[in-house]
Amino acid sequence: MEKIVSNRQVPAMNVLIVFAHPDRRSLNASLRDVAVEELEALGHAVEVSDLYAMAWKSAVDGADFPAIDPKARLKVAAASGDAFAADALTDDVKAEQAKLLRADVLILQFPLWWFTMPAILKGWVDRVYAYGFAYGVGEHNDQRWGDRYGEGTLAGKRAMLIVTTGGWREHYSPSGINGPIDDLLFPINHGILHYSGYTVLPPFVTYRVDRLDDAGFAQAAAALRERMRTLESTQPIPFRRQNGGDYLIPSLELRPGLEATGVSGFSLHLKQVE
């Protein structure tokens, strides 16, 4: 059978969606289906890692490193690095790493539980992001402190979050009680995605999802389709590169004078866009 190719002028990409909701009838699953449908209509190839459907193992433990003596002390980073170097990680982890290497775009999709990702998705990060694969990559010297924060195994690829929350948009606004949504997601966008090399796009966040009616869903779906159509043209979050000269080495503190007036905290790590 001939493959039907979209007539849109968009180069076909491989997209991986890592999905973390327990119910396939959830709003999250509906939004995932919208994203997949739009991406496939654009001619992209989509893989979905549905963590609940896969019964993903969340906890890092000795069973993750079958080559290591189970009676020996488990030093997680060392065990992870040894196993990655020897191609001795477990098959489930190796399969996810292969998907990441294949994908031009990574999407992590989840409901915001306690202001971050559900445990099952954190367990995907903890296990798949092995030493030598997503951290502990590259040389450390006077010029560079490893390949991370803008460099690394996954450099050249794009990533974004699709997030739902029961809370109101205002509660996540710059002065909202939960903290600004961009700051809450910073440890993921910067500390996980940018860290391992990804160019990170702004997140797609849907608020007050428990009260979302049909019109609200239609609006969210339309906005999500637009984000899927613009994966390649959307301006990324302008995180600073670690080894680009903005940080002192080895203290990795921002070089004095680069902070804009009144900027502190996580925002220091954004390039000031003119």
Contacts with its own copies by CB under 8 A lie at 22-23, 25-26, 52, 56, 58-62, 73-77, 111, 113-120, 122-123, 125-126, 129, 149, 166, 168, 170-171, 173-180, 183-184, 186-187, 190-192, 210, 242, 247, 250-254, 259, 262-269
Nearest distance, CB of residue 165 and its own copies, angstroms: 11
State how far the Cα of 24 lies from the Cα of 47, in Å rounded to an integer: 16
Nearest distance, CB of residue 150 and its own copies, angstroms: 10
Give the residue carrying structure tokens 């006077």. 142
Query: Of the two residues 38 and 64, which places its CB atom closer to its own copies in the complex?
Result: 64
Query: Of the two residues 3 and 211, which places its CB atom closer to its own copies in the complex?
Result: 211
Query: Of the two residues 56 and 133, which places its CB atom closer to its own copies in the complex?
Result: 56
Nearest distance, CB of residue 102 and its own copies, angstroms: 22
Task: Give how far the C-alpha of residue 252 lies from the chain's centroid of Cα atoms, to the nearest Å.
Answer: 23
How many other C-beta atoms can be found within 10 angstroms of the C-beta atom of residue 196? 26
SS3 221: helix
Query: Of the two residues 4 and 177, which places its CB atom closer to its own copies in the complex?
Result: 177
Q: Are 128 and 196 in contact (CB under 8 A)?
A: no
Nearest distance, CB of residue 3 and its own copies, angstroms: 35
Query: Of the two residues 9 and 175, which places its CB atom closer to its own copies in the complex?
Result: 175
Nearest distance, CB of residue 244 and its own copies, angstroms: 12
DSSP string, 21-53: -S-TTSHHHHHHHHHHHHHHHTT-EEEEEETTT
State how far the Cα of 29 lies from the Cα of 23, in Å rounded to an integer: 7
Query: Of the two residues 233 and 261, which places its CB atom closer to its own copies in the complex?
Result: 261
Task: Name 263's Cβ contacts closer than 8 Å, sequence gap at least 6.
Answer: 272
State how far the Cα of 230 lies from the Cα of 108, in Å rounded to an integer: 17
Nearest distance, CB of residue 93 and its own copies, angstroms: 13
Q: Are 124 and 96 in contact (CB under 8 A)?
A: yes
State how far the Cα of 32 lies from the Cα of 47, in Å rounded to an integer: 11
